[in-house]
Structure 1
Amino acid sequence: MPLGSTAPARRSVLFGFAAAGSLGLLSACGAGSEVSGAGESAAAGGCDVDAPTTATTVNVLAYASTATDPFSKAMSDGCTSGELTVELPPTDLAGQHQRAVQSFSGPTASYDIVETYGSIRPLYADRGWVVQLDDLIAANSDRYALDGIDPALMEAVAYDGKQYTLPTFWGVAVMVYRKDVLEQVGKQVPTTFAELIDTAQAIKDQTDISAPLAIPFNPSGDIASQFNQALHSLGGDLFVEGQAVPSLDGELPVKAITALASLLPVMSDQVMSFSSPEVITQLQTGQAALGLLMSGRVADLTDPDKSKFADQIAFAVPPSVEPGGLPMTYLSVDGFSIAENSAVDHELLFQLACVGTGEGAAKAAASATIPARTDIADAAELPVKEAALATLPDAEPLPQVPYMADVYTALGAPIGAAVSGQTSAQEGAAAAQAAAVAAIASAGY
């Protein structure tokens, strides 16, 4: 069905991040000695924690990426000393949530500190799986300069007005494009889906790039995110406001599915299997010249050691589905939470999480992502930063509801089938509604 032209009114900005100035960040890690005794500081590599007096192993669950590694390795590499060992078992994003739930569900945690993100954080808090941090934050704020973390991000990761997470970094979906290719075909950066398709078709017709556009469309998780972003662009919502009721079978969800399907002719015929790594590879190797990716995933694209076209990669605000609509994006905030069922002292785990979100970790991460600490974020010279900040006012986080992860999982198959043409957009929206209703009921909400 053809896309309409009704544009939603612009929404109010939910989060305001510092674009200039700072909060006067203090040193995040105090001086100290090697791990040696109670009350002393395990400060090897700048790790300011109270050293345990007996052998203690802490397991951190965090998916490996250029954005997350500096934060998690600040704990595993920086704090392993004396009686304290911090392990960082390898995992990927797809396996992280499954491992976390298994760990939380047992009598004793397999993982003591867990990296969390938007779709799963409310579930962990609602089930009582992670420690409420408000008292620990108040008691340790000066020691770890926690007021240096953007308060808007602290608010963004709160659940029911309480803190269960220390933020590490934030990201939004941004447009990626090749400057040289757009110049070659005489096109500007697209601002709508119609312009995106037109630009991609021009690249396809005038260059040897046969699949110019790359977006993560994998039904196992990515397509649900793209659907949510397209729906947001059109002014729609996943749920009826204030209710555990999906709103996915109306006009706007059908438009969102139709819009995503309209991009297929200028993408690879394998795009329904693409997650972010495949999209990154397409852009690195020149098989694609346009893409949509989270800002925390794009650092390798501008690294000349990893990308053939690093000097030609640029970033912009993503296009809207329709003229006058919102950019196709959303806000994601990552952070660390503490397992309630961990046998390790929660105070020690909180101290480690503070190191993992501290100044040293943030500085190490600032070449790959935008840290939660405002001073360091303001000073970061990151190619994607300008586009991310320009996108941010129109980006919204996922609904902070405990059934969000279950609904996202349920949406993959019906939305994927409709986008790929196996079913109609109307059938896909109806199936998505039914799947979301069933997922919420199955989750007990």
Structure 2
Amino acid sequence: MTQPILSRRTTLRSLGAVAAASVLTPRRARAQAPVQMISHRYPALELFAEKMRGAVEGVEVNTQLMPFDKANELATIALSSKADTLDIVYASDSTVQKYAKNGWLMPLDDLFEKYKEEFNLGDFPESGLAPYRYEGKLYVLPHTVNVMMLFYRKDLLDAEGKQPPKTIAEYQEIAEYFNSPMRAGSVNCLKPVDAGLNEAHWFINALGDGWFDDQWKPVFNNEKGVAAIETLKEITGYAQRGFATAANDECSLAYQQDIGVMGLQWATRAASMDDPAKSRVVGMIDWAAAPGGHARLSGDGYAISAFTKQDPDLLFRIIATSSSDATQREAASLMVPSRESVLRDPEFAKKFRHYPGILAALETAQPFPPLPEFYEAGEFITRRVLQAVAGEMDVKAALDAAAGETEQLLKSRGYYN
């Protein structure tokens, strides 16, 4: 059973110092102390955590699951201090760049080759492994691919003879049309940092020129970028209450509780829309690619801390077991599988009605920039975007400030001559 979320200080203390694991055999292993894992939390990751806890007989795995920003914060604190209090670390395609650059993770290449046949690791396509490489070395075994797609109330649009929007301009028109005191026309998630970056990423790429040029100079504050955030600002006029502090959990709840018509959300949240224990809109929501394309493509998985005192073979076995073919098939309703054979299995497209939307979204989505400092820059980018959306700053002034702060950060890290 996953332990309850604790305060940062208590959580770090509870992770404890770990002793070295004893020699691992394929069928049984014993560890002198529990394996410590920290992770983001959503339904698929909860299942992976369960599989980790039962992966190796005789080995206790203590799984700590929490919202993304908190998991990233606590992992950063522990790893930056070179503490041995974490063994298995959740990482996304973006955070792995920071973790690996700082030397916080153990390269997995040798372990990947050692266990390739046993765990059928060749089923992970290179395109799925590439985001988790840094300077040619692999640091994460992927558990999911994830993509943001349009969640929309098909019943409401059908009743008014409207098609799901194909462009952001159409999205804005439909949001305005359906907006009412009872139900927001648009569901927006702008809580810093991760959720706010996700939302801005869509607008900056679909309507602008992206985040950076090929020299890592910000371009999100150019004319197109300003127009993109101006459009976001206008659309939030039709958003649900509390959108500025809403992240994935809050926005998923907005759909489930029938207080929003449409918006972007992760594919991993789709199945919960049809869960009668959680949702008031079972069978009413459908999915499509993001209007205008360019919504965020991501993925996540698990890495091994460079500072662990546990046996790396033990830890890799736990990670690989939790991402097995059988587990990914069990979790297929909850996430986008990272194994090629599972993702492309036609039976899943027939069985899960959100799969066609996933496949359509994958064709147009794009990841965050592969910049190790992107989340650091996101701290002030998202706050400046919120200032612009709230009318506290002119949009141009806010983005110029964010661009200047980003350049200052990257210059201090040696990106510019």
The TM-score, its normalising length taken from structure 2, stands at 0.88
Q: Hey, what does 1:129 align to over in structure 2? A: 104
Paired AA for residue 431 in structure 1: A
Partner of 1:40: 25
Instruction: State the one-letter code of the partner of 1:247.
Output: V
The reply to whether residue 232 of structure 1 matches residue 205 of structure 2 is: yes
Q: Deviations over 1:360-416 (max 9, x none)?
A: 321221111111112222333333221121121221211212111211222111111
Aligned to 1:20: none
Contact 2:206 2:294 in 1 (8 A): yes
Residue 219 of structure 1 deviates from its aligned partner by: 3.5
* 1:69-88 mapped onto 2 (5 Å cutoff): 69-76=46-53, 78-79=54-55, 81-82=57-58, 84-88=59-63
CA deviation vs aligned residue, 1:317-344 (integer Å, no higher than 9, x gap): 1112xxxxxx140210111111010011
Deviates more, 1:381-390 or 1:130-139: 381-390
CA apart distance, 1:418: 0.8
1:276 to 248, 259, 268: 248
Partner deviation per Cα, 1:164-196 (whole Å, 9 max, x = no partner): 111000111100111111122221111112211
The structural deviation recorded for 1:156 is: 2.5
Q: Matches of residues 6-405 of structure 1 in structure 2 within 5 Å?
A: 40-42=25-27, 51-52=29-30, 54-76=31-53, 78-79=54-55, 81-82=57-58, 84-204=59-179, 209-234=182-207, 236-241=209-214, 243-320=215-292, 327-379=293-345, 380=348, 381-405=351-375
Q: Which runs of 5+ in 1 are unaligned?
A: 1-36, 43-49, 321-326
Pair 40,347 (structure 1): closer, same or farther in 2 beyond 3 Å? closer
Deviation at 1:235, TM superposition (A): 5.0
Whole-Å Cα distance in 1 between the matches of residues 89 and 315 of structure 2? 11
CA contact (8 A) 2:188 2:236 kept: no
**C-alpha distance in structure 1 between counterparts of 2:65 and 2:265, whole Å:** 23
Deviation at 1:444, TM superposition (A): 6.1
SS in 1 for 2:155: helix
**Which digits, 9 at most, give the CA deviation of each residue in 1:129-161, with x for residues without a partner?**
101111111111001110112321012322222
Structure 2 counterpart SS, 1:99: helix
Distance 2:86 2:137 in 1: 22
Deviations 1:236-295 (A, max 9, x none): 121221x34322321121122111112022212422122121211111111112121111
State the shift of 1:97 in Å.
0.8
Q: Which one-letter code corresponds to 1:123 in the other structure?
A: K
Q: Distance in 2 between matches of 1:245 and 1:355?
A: 41
Percent identity over paired residues = 25
Contact 1:406/1:440, CA 8 A, preserved across alignment? no
- TM (norm. structure 1) is 0.83
Q: CA deviation at 1:302?
A: 2.0
Query: How many Å apart are 1:107 and its aligned residue?
Result: 4.0
Q: 1:424 aligns with which of 394, 401, 409?
A: 394
Helix, strand or coil: the match of 1:413? helix
Q: What is the CA distance between 1:81 and its match in structure 2?
A: 3.6
Secondary structure of the residue aligned to 1:174 is: strand
Between the aligned partners of 1:108 and 1:204, the Cα distance in structure 2 is 50
Extract unaligned runs of 5+ from structure 2: 1-21
Distance of 2:211 and 2:191 partners within structure 1 = 19
> Against the structure 1 CA distance between its residues 342 and 38, is the aligned structure 2 distance closer, same or farther, given a 3 Å change threshold?
closer
Distance 1:136 1:41, change over 3 A: closer
Residues in 1 aligned to 2:340 and 2:206: alpha-carbon distance in whole angstroms: 28
Rounded to whole Å, the distance in 2 between the matches of 1:114 and 1:218 is 23
Partner Cα separation in structure 2 for residue 217 and residue 186 of structure 1: 30
C-alpha distance in 2 between matches for 1:437 and 1:232: 19
Which amino acid is the alignment partner of residue 292 of structure 1?
L
Secondary structure (helix, strand or coil) at the match of 1:67 reads helix
C-alpha separation in 1, matches of 2:266 and 2:194: 14
Q: Which runs of 4+ in 1 moved over 4 A?
A: 441-445
Whether the aligned pair in 2 keeps the contact of 1:175 and 1:316 (CA below 8 Å) is yes
Is contact 1:302-1:383 (8 Å) kept?
Answer: no
Letter in 2 for 1:171: N
- From 401, 415, 428, give the equivalent of 2:385: 415
Name the CA distance, whole Å, in 2 between partners of 1:168 and 1:265: 37
Letter in 2 for 1:357: S
What SS is found at the alignment partner of 1:213?
Answer: coil
In structure 2, the CA distance between the partners of 1:65 and 1:210, relative to structure 1 (3 Å rule), is closer
